[in-house]
Amino acid sequence: MSESTTGLEQRVAAFLAEHDPAGEAPLEFLRARFDAGLAWVWYPEGLGGLGLPQHLQPVVDAAMERAGAPSNDPGRNGIGLGMAAPTILAFGTEEQKRRFLRPLWTGEETWCQLFSEPGAGSDLANVSTRAVRDGDDWVVNGQKVWTSGAQNARLAILVARTDPDLPKHAGLTYFLCDMTDPGVEIRPLRQITGEAEFNEVFLTDVRIPDSQRLGAEGEGWRVANATLNNERVSIGRSAARESGMIGVLARTWREHPERRTPELHERLLRLWVEAEVFRITGQRLRQKLAQGQPGPEGAAMKLTFARIAQQASGLELELLGEEGLRYEDAQGWTMVRPEKVDFTGRDAGYRYLRAKGNSIEGGTSEILRNVVAERVLGLPGEHRVDKDRPWKDVAK
CA-closest candidate to residue 337, choices 236, 231, 158, 186: 186
Residue 335 to residues 188, 192, 338, 357, 358, Cα–Cα distance (Å) = 9, 11, 10, 18, 21
Rounded Cα gap, residues 22 and 68, in angstroms: 8
Rounded Cα gap, residues 191 and 122, in angstroms: 19
CA-closest candidate to residue 274, choices 294, 297, 244, 295: 244
CB 154 within 8 A of CB 178: yes
Q: Give the contacts of 56 (CB within 8 A, at least 6 positions apart).
A: 4, 5, 8, 41, 42
CA-closest candidate to residue 112, choices 198, 191, 25: 198
Rounded Cα gap, residues 213 and 173, in angstroms: 8
Q: Is 306 exposed, middle or buried (0-12, 13-18, 19+ CB in 10 A)?
A: buried
Contacts 24+ apart (CB under 8 A), 27-30: 27/106, 27/108, 29/69, 29/70, 30/70, 30/72, 30/105, 30/106, 30/107
Rounded Cα gap, residues 31 and 24, in angstroms: 11
Q: What are phi and psi of 115, to 5 degrees?
A: -115, -65
Q: What is the DSSP letter of 216?
A: S
Active site residue 231: yes
| Active-site residue identified among 195, 197, 231, 297 | 231
Active site residues: 231
